[in-house]
Amino acid sequence: NAGVMQNPRHLVRRRGQEARLRCSPMKGHSHVYWYRQLPEEGLKFMVYLQKENIIDESGMPKERFSAEFPKEGPSILRIQQVVRGDSAAYFCASSPRDTYEQYFGPGTRLTVT
Amino acid sequence: AQSVTQPDIHITVSEGASLELRCNYSYGATPYLFWYVQSPGQGLQLLLKYFSGDTLVQGIKGFEAEFKRSQSSFNLRKPSVHWSDAAEYFCAVAPSLTAGNKLTFGGGTRVLVKP
């Protein structure tokens, strides 16, 4: 059973470009979480999604950031018009229904030049 | 709002020595507490968790943690570290056990193991 997959593992974007980060949850998991880890900081919650629904986006920046988890395919975290401050590691976690335990992917390291 | 503090950013320990990582939380009620480990280039792996009951909990890889309500602490310990324990360790809290619980993480403690 493959774990949570994230790609790309490393992403370099110039200021103003768009970044798309993908997350494939573990098989059978219908809940996805995105966290951001800024340099020298802990992980901060961004958004919690179920299939085709955003349940809690209280940690998402109000502009430029969006997330989706379609019926088919991976969850996508999209950052438009990236700025240097967006450079961070973005982690995805998934969980089965009605359980606390979140399984984390290896993360995507985004560098904005 | 809940918060988690890990006072030690870096800890260096000799192989075979004991290790203790500190974690303090701020929360109105007793939260649900977790320790995760992150090896370089990897995702986070759950080491152990505390929900209720016995305040000393055992985890994987020989780790244990003790919940002390009076000190709002949940320190992680290992009696004898191995070189493979070099990693970053995160303490986290959650307000509930249901799906959708947002984990609040501490800043992490990076552990270096000397031969």
Nearest chain B alpha carbon to A48 = B100
Distances (CA, A) of A53 to A64, B4, B11, B68: 19, 29, 42, 38
* Tens-place pLDDT, residues B53-86: 889 999 999 999 999 999 999 999 999 999 999 9
Distance, CA of B15 to CA of A112 (rounded, Å): 38
Secondary structure (3-state) at B70: helix
B95 and B101 Cβ atoms separated by less than 8 Å: yes
CA torsion sign for B88, B92, B97, B98 is negative
Contact across the interface for B99 and A101, Cβ inside 8 Å: no
Q: What is the mean pLDDT of residues A3-22?
A: 96
Element (H, E) at B5: strand B3-5
Secondary structure (3-state) at B69: helix
* Both tokens assigned to B68: 């002390």
Count of Cβ atoms closer than 10 Å to residue A73 Cβ? 10
Closest CB to A42 among B96, B98, B108: B108
* Tens-place pLDDT, residues A20-43: 999 999 998 989 999 999 887 889
Contact residues on chain B for A32, CB-CB shorter than 8 A = none
B43 and B97 Cβ atoms separated by less than 8 Å: no
Query: Strands (DSSP E) along A51-87, which ranges?
Result: 53-56, 65-68, 75-79
The answer on pLDDT for A111 being more than 80 is yes
Distance, CA of A35 to CA of A59 (rounded, Å): 9
B52 and B69 Cβ atoms separated by less than 8 Å: no
Report pLDDT for B98.
Answer: 60
Closest CB to B107 among A41, A56, A107: A41
Nearest chain A alpha carbon to B110 = A40
Report pLDDT for B96.
Answer: 67
Closest CB to A102 among B98, B103, B108: B103
Chain B residues contacting A, CB < 8 Å?
Answer: 4, 6, 9, 32, 36, 41-46, 49, 90, 94, 96-108
